[in-house]
A and B are shown apart, each in its own frame.
Chain A
Amino acid sequence: QKEVEQDPGPLSVPEGAIVSLNCTYSNSAFQYFMWYRQYSRKGPELLMYTYSSGNKEDGRFTAQVDKSSKYISLFIRDSQPSDSATYLCAMGADYGGSQGNLIFGKGTKLSVKP
Chain B
Amino acid sequence: KAGVTQTPRYLIKTRGQQVTLSCSPISGHRSVSWYQQTPGQGLQFLFEYFSETQRNKGNFPGRFSGRQFSNSRSEMNVSTLELGDSALYLCASSLGDRVAWSETQYFGPGTRLLVL
Tell yes or no: A98 within 8 A of B by CB.
yes
Question: Once the chains bind, are A100 and B100 in contact (CB under 8 Å)?
Answer: yes
Within A72-114, the residues touching B (CB, 8 Å) are: 88, 90, 92, 94, 98-107
**Chain A contact surface mostly:** loop
Tell yes or no: B20 within 8 A of A by CB.
no
Interface size on A, residues (CB 8 A): 22
Q: Which residue of A lies closest to B58 (CB)?
A: A101
Question: Once the chains bind, are B42 and A98 in contact (CB under 8 Å)?
Answer: no
Tell yes or no: A43 within 8 A of B by CB.
yes
Stretch of A11-19, A44-52, A63-71 lying at the B interface: A44-52
Interface centre among A49, A92, A94, A101 (most CB of B within 10 A): A101
- A1 to B: closest C-beta gap in Å: 16
- A97 to B: closest C-beta gap in Å: 8
Query: Contacts A32-B100, A43-B4, A43-B90: A102 and B45 contacting too (C-beta < 8 A)?
Result: yes
Question: Once the chains bind, are A44 and B48 in contact (CB under 8 Å)?
Answer: no
In the complex, chain B residues whose CB is within 8 Å of the CB of A60: none
Known: A43-B90, A88-B43, A101-B56. 8 other contacts (CB 8 A): A42-B109, A43-B92, A43-B107, A43-B108, A49-B103, A92-B100, A98-B98, A107-B43
Contacts from A to B (Cβ < 8 Å): 32, 41-46, 49, 88, 90, 92, 94, 98-107
